[in-house]
Structures are given as structure tokens and as C-alpha cells.
Structure 1
Amino acid sequence: MKKLGIVITDGVGFRNFVMSDFLSEATKEFDEIIVYSGLPESCYQNFNNSKLQIKELTVFNEGKITWAFRKWKEIGHLQKHKDFYGMNDNLVSGYPKGNTIRSLFIKSIYAFTKLLHTNSSILLAEKFQFLSFSRKKVTREYLEILKEDKPSHLFFTHQRPPYLAPFLYAAIQLKIPTSTFVFSWDNLASKGRMLGTFDYFLVWSKLMKEELLYFYPNVKSDEVKVVGTPQFEPYVLDKYKTTKENFITKFGLDPSKKIICYSCADVSIGPNDPIAIKAIAHAMRNKEIKEQTQLLVRTSPAEDDSRFRAILEEFPEIIWNVPKWVLTRENHQESWSQRIPSEEDIKDLRSLLENADLSVNMCSTMSLDFMLFDKPVINTVFGNLENGLYNDQRFLNYVHYKKVIDGNSVMIAKNSRELIEQINETFDNPEERTKERKAMIDLQIGQSLEGTSKRIAQVLSKL
């Protein structure tokens, strides 16, 4: 019997692998599906299938010793690859400023790994990390679950969350083949180490495969499968399609005016969002934008709209789309991961992508979303080390985004004046970068959106 275990880590994994066609396609390839969920079981109330089981995993709380070995592993990985700007940026930003016991310990890891950060030393740190929780109650519980279920393959829908390491350890101990999906386009060249060592890897594109083989030299080429990503599959599924008329009515838009969409980051990297939003709003009021326009702001799914209340009061003409993501569990070590999207929000996002005339964002993955619909994109990066604003211009040096810039698929605005000029240029010639946008999609995604879930399910069935 072919039995697939699927580890759903967080809200984005839920969106990618539950709200796409993946589960229905997987049931065609496997006799039984068990979803091991890092989200509450109540999230799956509307999924009834005789082949499908949902099992909520007990949350693993990382102890101090485990944390110490994980930090060694992750910092060592960043030290090894600090020639990459994003890796070094995370390395520098993670260096403690204080002198608490915890801070001093982290500083000692920095000093140690600066001298020793070979691949074998990083794998040794991972070995000690896994040994440190091997006798924990939750690990024993995971072992019993997998012994009872006997999945023929265990698929992790995200490669990084450290609180899933004991579940991976349990699978390794029981010799259950494992695979993981590389979550996002920036993860390999700028983020920390994966949570552990998997047997197989599913990636977006040939580019991502090349990156994975570079950063993880123990991985063999035939262990990496290029499948595309289900992140964008809802844009070609009929169940998420709505009409332009519904979109216009729902958000109170004027069908005669152009729509500028500003997509916010979360507050940790998007503190300059209010500045860019106000720049556009002022320009609209002062008629500095040639076309008749309206501004729709979509906030980050990771937070509510509370930090924008002052803007809402000052510019009541701005239209807001606050993503309808529900917080399913509080007091989690990564609380943002426990937010899941509603079907309504996916429909809203797709409608926005289809009907907006221009995307403005701060170097976000939303740039790709809009490029899929051949919409012009302007990236705002107003801050640097000299002007006192949050330094978002540094993101232009991240490897994944340098490819976007070098490919000429977006425009870059470093201040309000440039932003308004570029908005006008874009409205004058919206098709100017169509060829470059398509090339960037082909590079970063690498597979057709149609049939993504089927492709992934078929690949997993052959592993």
C-alpha cells in the first residue's frame, strides 16, 4: 500500500498544499494520505475524503541545548556562505548588541564558526542537535505515530521550521524516505540552514536546483526534482475565479480609473511602507499622476492593518484590502505561522492581480504574482544608511532580487520623485517590459502553473 504522509507546517503551506489541487491529485497517486499538521486539526473541517486522515502534531518546544546546537548549525551555514550578500546581511543583523548570557553565548558561536564552518562541522552540529531531543517526550510520541502509521513516504511542505526537526528525526530513525519542498525563491541564497537532511528535494526551477546543489554539496543532482510551485496555482483554478464586476463592486472601485496596488511587507522589513503609500496618495491629490487613478493597498497577511490607521484617517480615499487570514493558535513560538488564508482572500488576491494596472511593492514575492499577469511592477526602496530610513535598499543586493533587477523586469524607485515619475512612465507604456517579465517568470518558476499539483503528486509517487 502506498501511503503518503504530508507535513503541513504553517498557513502558507496550508495555502499551497491544501487550498490548491494537491490533496485531490495526491489521492489519485496514493492509497492513503495522512496530513501531519502543525496547525490545529480544526483547520481541516471542510475536507472529507475516505483516503485522507488529519493528525495534529503536538507542538515541539525547543530546549536550550537543542537551541544552542541549532544556532551553531545555522550560524555556521551563514559563515560558510557569507560571500552572498543576503547570507552576510542575516549574519550581521543576527549578531547580538547586548551582553546578556544568551548574547555572549551567541557571540561565542560567531567567533567559533568564523574559524570553523566546514560542511562537515555544520553536519556535526546538526547531529548533536538531533541527539539533544532524541529522548524527549514529544520525539518518542512522533516515533510512535510513525511506527503505527507506517507511511511509505513523508513529504515536508517547508524545509526550514526548526520545530519540525524531531518529526524528521523520527522518520530518519524509522528509515522512512523523506522529501521537502523548498518554500520560497529567496530561501536558499539568503536564509539559514534547512531543518535537517532530507532524501529528496522539490524545487521551483532549474535555477533553484542549481542553488540547492551549491549550498548543500552532499545533495546529489538526481535527488532534486523541478516541479514548479503550487503557490501560484490558484491563479489558474476555476474555483478561485471571479468577475471584474464583482471585484469593482466589492472594493468600491471606479471602473473608469486606473488601479495602483501597493502591496505591503510586514512591519519587520516594511517600516517604509507608509512613506510610499503617502507619496502616491499625495501625488494623486495634487494631480501629479497623469491618469485618473485610485490606490488600493493590500496589507501583509502576517499582520493586521493597525499600523496604517493614521494613513486611513488622513487619506480616506485609499481603498484597503486586509487579507482574511485567521489566527488558529496563539502562544506559538512562531505565531505568524499559525495564520491560514480564507478562500475569500485567495479570490480577492487573484482578482486584484487580474484587474490592477500597476503593482508597487518593496522587493516582494508579489512582484512575481503580478508578473504572472503581465502587470508592470515598481519596487520602492526609499531607505539607506545615509537618510535615516529603514535600509531597504540593501535588499537590491540579495542574489534572488539582483536577478530581477538585472533582468530589467521591474523599475526601482529610491525616492518619492522617482516613484511618481515611474508611475507616469508605466501608464504611458505598460507593455514596455512584457518580454522581460515573461523571462523572469520562466527563470524563477520554471514550470507551467497548470497541472502543478498533479506534477508534484506524480513526482512524489515515484520517490
Structure 2
Amino acid sequence: MNALPTDLDLCYVATHGFAVRMVFQTGLLGQLAARGLRVGVIVPDAQDQNLVELCRRDGVVPIAYPCSPAPAARWLKSLRKYVVEDIRRNPCLWDKHQEVLAANARRPHKKMAATLGLLINDVVEQLPILRRWFLAAEQRLLLRSEVVAFLRQLGVRTLVATYPVAAPEPELLLAARALGLQTVLHLLSWDNITAKGHFQALADHYLTWGPTMEEELQQFYGVAPDRMTRCGVPHFDLYFQPPTPVESPLLQQLAGGRPYLFFAMSAARYAPGETAILAQLCEATVPGGALAGVRIVARPHPSALAGVMRDTATLDALRRLENTHGLLVSLPQMVAGSRMNWSVQDSDMHELVGLLRGAAVVLNSGSTVAVEALALGRPVVITSYDGPENRPYAQSARRLRDYPHLAKLIGDGGGAVVESHTALLAQITTLLAAPETGAEARAHALFRQIGDQDGKATERVVAALVRALPQVPGTGQGAREVPPPTPSARA
């Protein structure tokens, strides 16, 4: 292993491919480095070729996290949603619990653990002191001497985490606080607060997307307004700037032609009927059909192409529709061999932006793409059904609209919800004829999510981080006691 850098002014933690997109796509870390700051980024795979090139471009030091996972970390992760949360009131976590209960016979131990977990949850709800004991014990287990030593060696002044629900980010945050360092939380997605469970570690300051995220931080963690800076979303800056030329055969094929619908798909475990919906849409585009002359473009979720959620069934179904119905498919450009979850090539974002910008209507069952489409002024339709099937609620895309983050977007007017193929065709027909339908409500929903839309989110993040730097002692010394986060009710 190469020697670790030292004397870093600021270090981001990017354990997820979406975090890499957020901090590199519009040059956030490069702008910090251009101000003369020594900047590092802690990642699970410092050999990821896309990441290596981005760091070289922006003058940033990639740092492989050297500390082995704590033996109890995985056990704590699986148990804590039953101890810390009121799991029956959190649709996202309850959904995950139900998924484990439905596991096949090859995983009886997981099914048994979930059943036991629910019993534990019932006991903790009656004896909340057990929750406080658990949180205190968890903090002690996550505050590891080797992680403290790692940060001390880096000499970092400010640590910025992006995904505090996944290892090793909580233990890095706790180690930084123990060293008296400034800590900042810059969340990579809109659903992190309500959908992922109570954070294992908190921070001194928070960079928020918009009003909704600020309200959630206040509601669940009691974060005071003066500890939050509303910045918007750095990689969304691309949406408010002139289009960037990109070499994309698919975009060239679509340019100047017939209108098209863009279906940004979710992972099949969340929306199992999306390929069936696509088949129905393709049938409607034949001569004489309800959507005659309209083209259909589909993009599978990155999880379908790599990792533990790899989904060959969905990819095979898309290929069949390509061959039989002329469906156009945009495959996320994954980084081959990367150990980072959902690591995509830097150029992939530009094709995604181009597809969203040119679409007549964007279809989605509940991912961040719904917000991205709003940022580009595109009408959004939420497909809250499963094609011709009538699946039970626990296995249906219908349940996604009850996830707090999507429910808020829909409630604010961010998308038209359809529950059948007939309703979908009717909504698409309306939006093709009058794309301004619902525009005022969509603008309101977008503001609620990301605040001002001036293309300057990256600048605001840089300014907020630079302002934070002088508040940090340069020695990295002076360990202090780390209090556990205060438990709070989940949405």
C-alpha cells in the first residue's frame, strides 16, 4: 500500500458510486483544491479507474480505507433497525423486513432472525431504556482505535461524510469527533434521512439539498437551523447549464426526431412489473396505437448491471423488447471490476442528462430521477402499478408511493400518479398535447427538494466548506467524549 498523505485540510468520504458522482461531476473537489487546499477522498477502492482519473484531473488524493471491518458491524447493522426504529411505522424499513420474511428455504436463518427482530422491537417499544443502552454500546463499538489512528495520520482538519448509514462512514465520523475535528454531513440522496434508518453518527454541520431535507434533519435529529447550509445538489448544476456535447449514438439517434418517453427504471425488487409496462407501451406505439409515432427509451437501474442486486432477467427482457418492438435502451456505463457500489463512468451522467432533457415525458416508479427530471423541466409520471399483474401490496410498486421521500414529492405536486395502463396512456396523451400541464406544481415540488435552481450549488458547497475550515484546530489533538445520537421517531 502506498504511504498515506498527511496534513489534509479536508477529506471527503465516498463509499458509494453516487457520492463520487456528486463530488466530482461538476468539479466540487477540484474547486476546493484550486483554492490551495489539500484535499483527499476516502474510498473503498482507490484503484477504481474512473475514480483515479477524476482525482488526477481535480488534484485530489484518493485514499483507500485501510481498516478491516469490525467483527460486530454487520450484526449491529442487521439488528439496529429492530432496536432503534419503530419499524412498523417506517414503510421503507418495514418493506425490508417483509422481504426477509418472504425469503426462500435456502435462507431460513435470515427469516428466523427477522422474526426474532420483530419480537425484540416489541420489547424495546415497551422498554425504551433498552434502546438507549443499545445506542451507547454501539457508539463504543464503532469508536475504534485503529480508525482514530488512521485519521490522526492523515492530519485532516475537516471530514465530510456522504452516507452515514453504511460502513465505514459512521466509525470515521465518530473517530473524527473524538479527535476534535470538524465534521460535515453532505448527504448523497434525498431518501437517506427517512428511508435508511437512524444514522449511527451525526456531524457538526450539514449541507442540505433544500427545505424538505432541512425539515427532516430538524424533525429526526433536532439539528438547529444555524448548523445547516442550504446548497442544492452539486451534480444537478449540469441541468441548469447549456448542454454539454457528448458522444452518444443513442442521443444522436434521438436528435431531431419523433418525441420519446424516457422510462428510468427502479430495481426490480421495488418495481417488479416495469418490463411488463414497457411491453405494453411498446405495443401502443404501433400504427393505429394510442402512442403511434412515439418512441420509448428505457434505462435500467445501475444495480441491475453489477453487485448483489444484479438482475439478468430484467436485462434479458429489455433485449427482447429491443429486438421485437424497437425499444431503445440506455445501459448505465459501469466501471468494470470496481469494488465500489454502483460505480459509473463519468461520461454516463452526460448521456443521462441528454436523455432527460430531450424526453417529452419521464416515467419512474420512485427514484431520484424523478427529481432530476423536474430539474430539467420535464413532466413526470409515477407508475404505481405492476403492468397487467395485480401483485400483493408488499410485492408491488404501489408501496413505493408510501415511502416518505416519494410521498412528499407527490404531495408537493412533483408527479402524476397512475395505477393502470389505461391511466398511464391517458396521462401521457395529456402531457404530449399540453406539456405545461401541472408545471406550477412541479416547480413548487422542485424548490422543496433542491431550493434555488441557478446552477450554483457546487459554488455554495465550496463556500460553506471553506467557511468551516478556520473553526478547526490544526493539530487534530484534544480527544473528547462522543455522546450517542439521540433516538427519535422515524417517519
- When normalised by structure 1's length, the TM-score is 0.86
Measured against aligned partners, the alpha-carbon deviations of 1:68-126 in whole angstroms (never above 9, x if no partner) come to 333343323331x7435445444544557679555444433332232325887545424
1:311 aligned partner: 321
> What residue in structure 1 maps to residue 237 of structure 2?
233
- The answer on whether the counterparts of 2:265 and 2:365 sit within 8 Å (CA) in structure 1 is yes
Kept after mapping to 1: 8 A contact 2:40/2:63:
yes
Matched-pair contact (CA < 8 Å) for 1:371–1:377: yes
1:370 correspondence with 2:388: no
Match of 2:63 in 1: 55
> Which residues in structure 2 correspond to 1:242-253 (within 5 Å)?
242=245, 250-253=251-254
Write the distance in 1 (CA, Å) between the matches of 2:402 and 2:98: 15
Could you tell me how far 1:406 is from its partner in structure 2?
2.7
Instruction: Select which of 112, 115, 119 maps to 1:111.
Output: 119
Cross-structure match for 1:224: 228
User: Which SS does the other structure have where 1:180 is aligned?
Assistant: strand
- Matched position secondary structure for 1:266: coil
The 3-state SS of whatever aligns with 1:329 is coil
Q: Cα gap change, 1:49/1:147 in structure 2, threshold over 3 Å: closer, same or farther?
A: farther
Give the C-alpha shift of residue 3 in structure 1: 0.5
Amino-acid identity (%): 17
Q: Which residue of 2 aligns with 1:323?
A: 332
What is the Cα deviation at residue 144 of structure 1?
Answer: 2.7
Aligned partner of 2:161 among 156, 165, 179: 156
Q: How does 1:268-279 map to 2 (within 5 A)?
A: 268-279=269-280
Q: Secondary structure at 1:131's aligned position in 2? A: helix
- Report the CA distance between 1:14 and its aligned residue: 0.7
Match of 1:76 among 59, 78, 83: 83
> 319-328 or 282-291, which moves further after superposition?
282-291
In structure 2, the residue matched to 1:35 is 41
Secondary structure at 1:275's aligned position in 2? Answer: helix
Closer/same/farther in 2, CA of residues 307 and 231 from structure 1, 3 Å limit: farther
String of CA shifts for 1:400-431, please: whole Å, max 9, x gaps: 22233333332222121221122111111111
1:236–1:450 Cα contact (<8 Å) kept: yes
Partner of 1:359, secondary structure, is: strand
SS in 1 for 2:352: helix
**In structure 2, what residue type is equivalent to 1:429?**
A
Corresponding letter in the other structure for 2:225 = S
1:234–1:158: structure 2 CA closer, same or farther, 3 Å change rule? farther
Q: Deviations over 1:292-311 (max 9, x none)?
A: 21111112122233452332
With 303-312 and 196-205 compared, the bigger mean Cα shift is at: 303-312
Letter aligned with residue 235 of structure 1 = Y
Q: Deviations over 1:251-277 (max 9, x none)?
A: 523734111111111222132111110
How far does residue 49 in structure 1 lie from its aligned partner after superposition?
6.9
Cα deviation, residue 176, structure 1: 1.7
The answer (yes or no) to whether the contact 1:31–1:51 under 8 Å persists in 2 is: no
Give yes or no for contact 1:72–1:125 (8 Å, CA) kept in 2: no
Alignment of 1:132-281 (within 5 A): 132=141, 134=143, 140=146, 142-217=147-222, 219-236=223-240, 241-242=244-245, 250-253=251-254, 255-281=256-282
Structure 1 counterpart of 2:471: none
Higher relative contact order (CA 8 A, sep 6+): 2
The one-letter code matched in structure 2 to 1:352 is: L
The aligned amino acid for 2:122 is K
Secondary structure, aligned partner of 2:343? strand
Equivalences for residues 262-411 of structure 1 within 5 A: 262-285=263-286, 287-289=288-290, 292-304=293-305, 305-315=315-325, 317-330=326-339, 337-383=340-386, 387-388=390-391, 390-411=395-416
- Are 2:157 and 2:182, in contact at CA under 8 Å, matched by a contact in 1? yes
Displacement of 1:134: 5.0
The RMSD of aligned alpha carbons is 3.0
Alpha-carbon offset, residue 230 of structure 1: 1.7
Q: Which residue matches 1:334?
A: none
For residues 150 and 123 of structure 1, the distance between their equivalents in structure 2, rounded to whole angstroms, comes to 33
TM-score normalised according to structure 2 size: 0.81
Distance 1:454 1:51 in 2: 17
Alpha-carbon distance between aligned partners in 2 of 1:90 and 1:255, rounded to the nearest angstrom = 43
CA 2–387 in structure 1, closer or farther in 2 if over 3 Å, else same? closer
Q: How far apart are the structure 2 equivalents of 1:59 and 1:313?
A: 48
